[in-house]
Structures are given as C-alpha cells and as structure tokens.
Amino acid sequence: MIAVGADHAGYEYKEKIKELLKTMKIEFQDFGTSSTESADYPDFAHKVAEFVASGKAEYGILICGTGIGMSITANKHKGIRASNVESIEAAKLARAHNNANILAIGARLTPWKTVEEIIKVFLSTKFEGGRHQKRVEKIHSLTNL
C-alpha cells in the first residue's frame, strides 16, 4: 500500500502517479488534494506521514511545487524518513542507504518522465542494511545528541 498526497501544485502529478501505480498493480490511498485550487501542503503531508507511520502503508509519495515543504513536514513524524528527490540516483540511494519511506517530489522542478523513473526505482530498491542500519537507527534516537 502506498499513501499519496499533494497540494495544488502537485495535483496533476498526483493524478498521473495514481495511474502509474494502477499499471504497476500497486494499491494506493489518495489523501488529496482533489483539484488545482490553492491548498496547504502540510495538511496532506501530515495525513500521508501518519498513515505510513501507523504501518497502514509501506511507503508514501508526496508532491508539491518543490517537494521541500512536504519533506520537512513529513519528517516531523516519528519513524518517517522522507526524502526530497529530484534524480533517479537520489531515489535509489534514499532507499538503499537511508531506508526512506516517503518520497517527496517537486512538480515544478522535475519533469514527468523523470518522476516516473524515480517512482519505479524508489519502489523497487531494497534497503541495504549493514553499515547503513546503525545510521538509520541514529536518525530516530535522541540519545545521540
């Protein structure tokens, strides 16, 4: 299960992502928005992050103008590792090294064809564990401060 959300700037990409997920036979839940009318990105980032953090979805995909606000907001949730990604290589490394569980995308910065590949790579790349595991554990540990 993938949780998907966008603000007005990401709405059109969100709709394309839903079609892509359907062709990949991947279940998803849409957390809005439902149009290009102005909407506040934190509202959708919080919903997607809560759904992923609860274990109801394995991954989340958030889309806004830059992906920045979405990733900042999602990362406020315990257990979330949202990565703002603009390249295929970054998508691969976000999963392989950081065990990212939410992908944030900037619709105004990343062409659709690249977004399509980013999503495919993000969803197909496995976390490598090993030396990266202890680093990921430190992300959520306040005792390391």
Indicate which residues carry an active-site annotation: 64, 97
Where does residue 118 fall: left (phi above 0), alpha (psi -120 to 50 degrees), or beta otherwise?
A: alpha
From the list 114, 109, 123, the residue with the least C-alpha distance to 57 is: 123
Whether 79 contacts 106, CB under 8 Å: no
Neighbouring-strand partners of residue 144: none
